[in-house]
Structure 1
Amino acid sequence: MAAALSNPQKRYLRGLAHDLKPVILVGAKGITDSLVAETGLAIERHELIKVHVAAGDRELRDEWIAELCTRADAALVARIGNMAVLYRRSQDNPLIVLPKA
């Protein structure tokens, strides 16, 4: 399970994510094994990614985001509309230095 982020850390990561483009697009099939694998690769490389979730129903969208966070072992930084920002510290090459909690 990804480490819980404090509010100052989330605020810092939201600022970094502001100009990012979505690198993962969740379509009508929802959360598949290949999507989780691709998310894991992207988040290991970038640490902070945006995910676009194309679900019309708010409950379904929130469910998919929660499932993706759990299966990719990532922390949810923010969710605005169809966009979610995920963070997980890279094990091989950490790029982002978080402020102290």
Structure 2
Amino acid sequence: MLTNKQKRFLRAKSHAVQPIFQVGKGGINQNMIVQINEALEARELIKISVLQNCLDDKHHVAEEIVNQTRSFLVQVIGNMIILYKPSKENKQIELPGR
């Protein structure tokens, strides 16, 4: 679980990050979850864009991705989901207060 201080720190770092995944009409599938997991291992902090034609609610999409990838939800803002998961081998982000 992330503290509020850690979430603020990650939100600030995420400003420079571009979204690398888009969730559209098809929703989330297992292949997308695998790719998101690989991206989280490589980058630790990613953004996912939820398109207007997505049939699911963005909060539901975020919750489903977090549960399946075992990552942390930093923020859902607009149509963007910001996720964090510490890398096992390539640790780049040092969180405050740990």
Q: Normalization by structure 2: what TM-score?
A: 0.92
Q: Quick check: 2:47–2:83 contact (8 Å CA) kept in 1?
A: yes
Report the secondary structure of 1:10's partner residue. helix
2:69 maps to what in 1?
72
How many matched pairs? 98
1:48 maps to what in 2?
45
Question: What is the rounded CA distance, in whole Å, between the counterparts of 2:23 and 2:56 in structure 1?
Answer: 15
Specify whether residues 22 and 57 from structure 1 end up closer, same or farther in structure 2 by C-alpha distance, changes over 3 A only: closer
Residue 57 of structure 1 deviates from its aligned partner by 7.4
Show structure 1 runs of 4+ deviating over 2 A. Answer: 55-59
1:90 aligns with 2:87: yes
Q: Percent identity?
A: 35
2:32 to 27, 32, 35: 35
Residue 93 of structure 1 deviates from its aligned partner by 1.3
Unaligned runs of 5+ in 2: none
1:7 maps to what in 2?
4
Q: What RMSD over aligned residues (CA atoms) do the two structures have, in Å?
A: 1.7
Question: What is the rounded CA distance, in whole Å, between the counterparts of 1:91 and 1:7 in structure 2?
Answer: 23
Question: What is the rounded CA distance, in whole Å, between the counterparts of 2:15 and 2:85 in structure 1?
Answer: 17
Unaligned runs of 5+ in 1: none
Residue 62 of structure 1 deviates from its aligned partner by 1.1
